[in-house]
Amino acid sequence: MKSYNSFAVAQQQVLEAAKLLNLDAATCELLLWPQREFKFTMPVKMDNGGVQVFHGYRIQYNDARGPAKGGIRFHPDETVDTIRALAGWMTWKTAVVDLPLGGGKGGVVCNPRMMSERELEHLARAYVRAVARYIGVDKDIPAPDVYTNPQTMAWMMDEFETIMGAHQPGVLTDKPMQIGGTEGRRDATARGGVITVREACSVLGIDPQKGTYAIQGFGNAGQRAALLHQELLGGGRLIAVCDSRGGIIRPEGLNPRDLVTHKLKTGSVVGFPGSKEIPRESVLELDVQVLYPAALENAINEFNAHKVKAAIICELANGPTTPDADLILHAKGIHLIPDILASAGGVTVSYFEMVQDQYSFFWDEETVHKRLDQKITKAYHTVEEAIKEKNVHPRLAAMVVGVARVAEACKLRGWV
C-alpha cells in the first residue's frame, strides 16, 4: 500500500487552486508554506517518579485574515508534516466559512492510552508552558483534536491564566461550559456536516429520508453524525460503521442511539447485537446514499476510490481523500463535500465561543444552532457556485474559494 505525505497532498491542492486563480509566483509560494513553526521538548514527571521527554509542535500557517485557529493532537504517530497539512487545511476552512481567523495546528508525540489522567494533565500544562508566548486571543487559539478533549482545554486554560496572571478564557475553545465553553459545541462538527448533506440532497434532488448511510470512524464526530443524520434529515437508515477495532453491518438498519451506547460501554462497535462483522475498509465501498469518512487522513485513495459507490461523501475527517482519489470520484459522478467545508462546523462554533468569551455574554443552544446553520449553508452554496463557474471537482472549488480569500488578504496587507 502506497504511503501518503499529508503535507504534500495539501500543497498539491494549493497549487491546483493557485493555477485556476492565476496567482503570481510570490503569492503562491507564500501560501504553500506555514508562516511560523515551533518545536518543543517537554520534560514531564511520570507516575513512576521518572521523567519522560515529549516532543511537541505548534504551527501557525497563515494569519492574514485573523489569528490562527486549530486543534492540538496527542498521538503516537504525530509528525510535523501532518501538523503542517492540518494547519493549512484549517486556513482554507476558516476562509471558506468566512470567519475572521487563520489556520494553525499543534501536536504532541505520545500515546495517551498508556498514560494516566495525572500524566496527561502534566503533559497538557507542559505544552502550554512551552507555547504560552505564542498563543492568545489575538495570536493563536488552540482547541481539542485527536485524543484531547474539553478537560485537556480546562487544564491548558488554567496553566495559561496562571502564567499570564489574568482571566483569559478565550485563549482556548471547546472548554467545559462551566468555565467559558459554549452551548452547541459538542456536536458542531457533525451538525455542520449533516447540514451540508441536507443542502446537497436538495441540489441533487435526493430524498434523504429514504436513503441509507454508513460511517467510517466512530469517534465523537462519527457518533454525532449517526444521530444527527436521522434527526436533521427526518430519517435515513444507518447500515454500517467501523472503528479502529473492526466494522459491522446490518442492512435492515442499526439503531444509532443504541450503537453509541454500546460503543461507550465496550470501547468498540464490534459485537453490537444483531450486526455482522465486516472488514473496516469495506465500509467505504458500500452502496449507500451518504458516506461519512470520519477517521484519519488518506482513507480514500487511488487504490480503493474506484470501489466507492456512495452518491454523496461528506468528509468529517481531515484529509480523508487523496488528490488521485478526488479525480476518480469526480469521474464517477460522486458528489463529494470536502473536509474544509463539511467539517467546518467545529471551528465555526469555536469562533462563536471566542466571541461569547470576549463579551462574557452567552447564547442559548437554539441561537448557536441557527447561526451555525446560516454560516454552513451560505458556505455550501458559495462552493457550489464555484463548482459551476470553474467547472471543477468540489474540493478544488472549495480550495479556490478559501485560497482566493486568503490571497486577497495577503495582497491587501502588502505582503505580496
What is the DSSP secondary-structure string of 106-138?
EEEE--GGGS-HHHHHHHHHHHHHHHGGG-BTT
Report how far residue 278's alpha carbon sits from residue 281's, in angstroms, rounded to the nearest whole number: 9
Dihedral through CA 66, CA 67, CA 71, CA 72, nearest 10? Answer: 160
Helices (H), 3-116: 6-21, 25-32, 80-96
Residues 6+ apart with CB under 8 A from 7: 81, 82, 84, 85, 88
Report how far residue 355's alpha carbon sits from residue 344's, in angstroms, rounded to the nearest whole number: 17
Report how far residue 45's alpha carbon sits from residue 304's, in angstroms, rounded to the nearest whole number: 44
Q: What cell was used for 389?
A: 463557474
Report how far residue 96's alpha carbon sits from residue 100's, in angstroms, rounded to the nearest whole number: 11
Q: What is the CA radius of gyration of the chain?
A: 20
Which of 19, 69, 93, 105 does the annotation list as catalytic?
Answer: 105
Check if 105 is active-site.
yes
| Residue showing cell 466494522 | 247
At position 246, the amino acid (one-letter code) is G
Active site residue ranges: 105
